[in-house]
Amino acid sequence: MGSGAAPTGPQGRSRVTGEDGHVGVVGRLRGGSPQLHVQRRRPLRRRILFVAAIAGPGLIAAAAGNDAGGIVTYSSAGSQYRYRTLFLMLLIGIGLALVQEMSARLGAISGKGLAALIREEFSIRLTSVALGALIIANVGIVVSEFAGIATAFELFGVSRYITVPLSALAIWLLVLLGSYRYAERVFLILTVAFFAYPVAAILAHPRWSTVATSVVIPHIVGDQAFILLAVALIGTTISPYMQLYNASAVVDRGIGPEEYRFERIDAVAGAGFATFISWSIIIATGAAIGGSGVLTSAREAAHALRPVAGSAAVVLFGLGLLGASALAAAVVPLSTSYALAEAIGVERSVSRSFREAPLFLGLFTAQIVIGVVVTLTPINLISLLIGTQVVQGLVTPITLTFIVVLANRKSVLGKWANGPVLKVASAVVTVVVSAMAVLLVAVTLGSAFGLK
């Protein structure tokens, strides 16, 4: 399925350009996936049109990872250490691309989501523990996304008591009344809001030579604060819900082995896009307020940019935060619904009605309601987010281990299973991310109990 961005030709096909420098026509296979028919055409628009025609689950999942919590973390990285985390984000982006590709491959080749594969390949007890922790963590993340929506509108002077319920209703109606094809197009439109951050980075007038050097040369700071920030950057960039959604959406979209070469581009390009946006946020805050210390909210980052970027900074950060939070507010509960429905073995699809998929859509609805209610009550959101962070830190190593083991098994993927190089690379990513996640849990719990 395409994003609808490419021009349409005869019989509902979209014109794109192939890898060989020719422009082709993308026909529709099962589930709306693209098939390339090559025609000779100017190669100038090749890559843009090609990616636009195949953009889907990979781009949506990766973009959703740059959610409200991610924006705060990236902004804080820029305000604390200017551009020194850009090289680290390059490494994290490579790890994200690797994980995204494996989860998408599992969905496309097996025709099943991650939770269904985990249920079939591992014990029921282990599956239940992993899914239980995932649901708890995701509910907390949903609350944070609606808090992000509230903050974005409050930057424009609109009360959360108006915007949060209306935003929730819009997201709920999108999923409940639409098809997967329609919902995906809306999700892709929301990713456009992320381009506010590259604009903010340009307006901040950074020293681009220093930025370029920081991207390719490590600038590691040997203090505890930098290590903890590195942990936070990994945790907010590579999240379990992203991979669960990615694999399930690939299945819901109807992508199979024949079309996987296109989805692979989508998965890797999505990770690249997410890394580019994270760089933009770090550059914008690094240029404007680098060295000023920790930020605790996107609101602080927006107002801190005003001296160098003018009033446009608040508008840009507000639009970016709104698009990011709205996208994640839909993707996170969907990932939970997909996972539980797959694990139980019942109907799950955005294209189904409430009567056809009551558990899937009922769980999605419940998460939306909880997110709205908690956001509008005077609960201590910081305590909630700390608890969510701990659970998320525990779920991440488990989920990544499942993905790597499944991607390595020929009994699951056959000839599509990881080769020697991918086995080593995926093992390294899993060990590093898992170690960082465990460290984050230990530090978070230590801080909660007054330990240093």
> What local confidence, expressed as pLDDT, does residue 450 receive?
62
> What local confidence, expressed as pLDDT, does residue 388 receive?
66
Both structure tokens of 292? 């000023």
**Is the pLDDT confidence value at 3 over 50?**
no
For each of the domains in the chain, give its residue range(s) and CATH number, in order of start.
Answer: 1-54 (no CATH), 56-413 (1.20.1740.10)
**Cα dihedral: 438, 440, 441, 444 (round 10):** 160
Give the 3-state secondary structure of the chain: CCCCCCCECHHHCEEEECCCCCEEEEEECHHHCEEEEEECCCHHHHHHHHHHHHCCHHHHHHHHHCCHHHHHHHHHHHHHHCCCCHHHHHHHHHHHHHHHHHHHHHHHHHCCCHHHHHHHHCCHHHHHHHHHHHHHHHHHHHHHHHHHHHHHHHCCCCCHHHHHHHHHHHHHHHHHHCCHHHHHHHHHHHHHHHHHHHHHHHHCCCCHHHHHHHHHCCCCCCCHHHHHHHHHHHHHHCCHHHHHHHHHHHHHHCCCHHHHHHHHHHHHHHHHHHHHHHHHHHHHHHHHHCCCCCCCCHHHHHHHCHHHHCCHHHHHHHHHHHHHHHHHHHHHHHHHHHHHHHHHCCCCCCCCCCCCCHHHHHHHHHHHHHHHHHHHCCCCHHHHHHHHHHHHHHHHHHHHHHHHHHHHCHHHHHHHCCCHHHHHHHHHHHHHHHHHHHHHHHHHHHHHCCCC
For the ranges 105-109, 318-322, 382-386, 435-439, the lowest mean pLDDT is seen at 382-386
Q: What is the mean pLDDT of residues 192-202?
A: 89
> What local confidence, expressed as pLDDT, does residue 271 receive?
93
For the ranges 37-46, 63-72, 92-101, the lowest mean pLDDT is seen at 37-46
Count of CB atoms situated within 10 Å of the CB of 15: 18
Q: Share the mean pLDDT of the chain.
A: 81
**Is the pLDDT confidence value at 104 over 60?**
yes
Count of CB atoms situated within 10 Å of the CB of 380: 8
> What local confidence, expressed as pLDDT, does residue 94 receive?
93
| 284-343 tens-digit pLDDT | 989 888 877 777 666 777 777 777 666 777 788 888 889 989 999 999 999 999 988 888
**Is the pLDDT confidence value at 160 over 60?**
yes
| 225-244 tens-digit pLDDT | 888 788 888 878 888 889 88
